[in-house]
Amino acid sequence: MKLEQNLRNHLEHIVEGADVRINGNRPWDIVVHDERFYREVMSQGSLGLGESYMDGYWDCFDLAQLFSRLLQAHLDRTASLTWREAVGCLKAKLTNRQKKSESARNVHHHYDVGNDLYRNMLGRWMLYSSADWENAASLDQAGEAKLDFVCQKLNLQAGQKILDIGCGWGGFAKYAAQRYGLKVVGITLSTEQIEVARQICADLPVEIRYQDYRELDEKFDHVVSLGMFEHVGHKNYRQYMKIVRRCLKPHGLFFLNTIGASESGYSLNRWTDKYIFPGALLPAVAQIGAAIDGLFAMQELRNWAEYYDRTLIAWFDKFNLNWCKLKKNYNQRFYRMWKYYLLSSAGAFRAEAIQDWQIILSS
């Protein structure tokens, strides 16, 4: 009992720095249902925090606001790493967790969890990256605005051929082909995404391939990548950029949309790596700069962190509304996992602990 009380006191002291209380009554306070929560968090760090939420050990009325406060207070940096986290960081730094033999398995873990889930979470265009909320009132409007933003920035012309690396469920390919008269090649390692993308792009000049980016060797007028670069990994950034440069015709543009980190790192937190995006990594500006050195000129970089926060809240609202249809295929622990993923991510963008970059590179 004394150990448990000491753990509780220590954790209460830590979160006080973010104006968060244990068993408080404000929307962002943590409400503990099971005393095992304290041991899990203090021994397992980020992994214990997420797993104990999945197991129902604690709740919070406003998870996004909780994580925004924790991250604004930099508690992720000031808290001591567990030995498992330290070993994980070292392993991620020294090894290539995103090599070709691992990539398909990493993609399968997240993107092949079920098309019914994504249909009941994403908007009309099945866009799985930040939407453009500047003049939009709904997720569908914001998703379409994002797609048009990309097309306008590339100054697309009818008849051009464009490559979409990590094409998802085919939303951009469909939009670009229908609205701008383009020929599109989309590549992905997700069999579930391919099924939907080929269906929605039927009768359009769109080719959807099961293909790793490292296998590309053909020319395109422009290249697009919306939310895929997070799966490339620091060991492969330079190779990735060389391949994109090789695929671009003279004067071609590369539109790169990626979530970004404020400082260079080598892995995500242990919970996200285990349950959501195994092997993923958020690049820093310095890492992208080194990767494009001598290959591209950076024409523009915009941060849409605020838009991604709003997008994630919209995704959660739609997921939550449609849970009555989804729960026959997913259990309650999955619901809590997915809720934690979406809303903690929203909080991270709200705190600007992570950013969302719209980058235009010229060859």
Going by the DSSP 8-state scheme, the letter that residue 328 receives in this structure is: T
The confidence score (pLDDT) of residue 91 equals 65
Contact (CB, 8 A) for 351 and 145: no
Contact (CB, 8 A) for 170 and 203: no
Q: Are strands 297-303 and 248-261 parallel, antiparallel or unpaired?
A: unpaired
For the cut 60, the answer to whether the pLDDT of residue 20 exceeds it is yes
Alpha-carbon distance of 121 to 116, in angstroms, equals 9
Residue 330: phi and psi, rounded to 5, are -135, 140
Strand stretches in the chain, DSSP E: 31-32, 58-59, 161-165, 183-188, 206-210, 220-226, 248-261, 297-303, 354-362
Strand stretches in 29-102, DSSP E: 31-32, 58-59
The confidence score (pLDDT) of residue 99 equals 85
**pLDDT, mean of residues 185-204:** 97
Is 244 or 90 the better-scoring residue by pLDDT? 244
Beta bridge partners of 355: 260
Alpha-carbon distance of 123 to 131, in angstroms, equals 10
Among 355, 318, 321, CA closest to 126: 318
Q: Domain boundaries in the chain?
A: 2-80, 100-330+338-362
Average pLDDT of the chain to the nearest whole number:
94
Alpha-carbon distance of 87 to 81, in angstroms, equals 10
Q: Lowest-pLDDT range, 77-91, 99-113, 184-198, 227-241?
A: 77-91
**pLDDT, mean of residues 9-24:** 93
* Joined tokens for residue 224: 């697009």
* Joined tokens for residue 159: 């008849």
For the cut 70, the answer to whether the pLDDT of residue 224 exceeds it is yes
For the cut 80, the answer to whether the pLDDT of residue 235 exceeds it is yes
For the cut 90, the answer to whether the pLDDT of residue 152 exceeds it is yes
The confidence score (pLDDT) of residue 346 equals 98
* Joined tokens for residue 318: 């739609």
Statement: 100-330+338-362 belongs to CATH 1.20.58.410: no
**pLDDT, mean of residues 100-116:** 93
The confidence score (pLDDT) of residue 5 equals 79
pTM: 0.95
Block residue for tokens 């060991």: 235
For the cut 90, the answer to whether the pLDDT of residue 259 exceeds it is yes
Alpha-carbon distance of 108 to 151, in angstroms, equals 29
The confidence score (pLDDT) of residue 113 equals 96
Please report which confidence band the pLDDT of residue 1 belongs to, taking 50, 70 and 90 as the band edges. Answer: low
For the cut 60, the answer to whether the pLDDT of residue 80 exceeds it is no
Beta bridge partners of 361: 254, 298
For the cut 90, the answer to whether the pLDDT of residue 86 exceeds it is no
Per-residue model confidence as pLDDT tens digits over 307-337: 999 999 999 999 999 999 999 999 999 999 9
Per-residue model confidence as pLDDT tens digits over 263-283: 998 889 999 999 999 999 999
For residue 8, the SS3 value is helix
**pLDDT, mean of residues 158-183:** 98
Query: Who's near 163: CB < 8 A, 6+ residues apart?
Result: 184, 185, 186, 187, 216, 220, 222, 223, 224, 247
Block residue for tokens 């306008």: 152
Q: What percent of the chain has pLDDT over 90?
A: 87
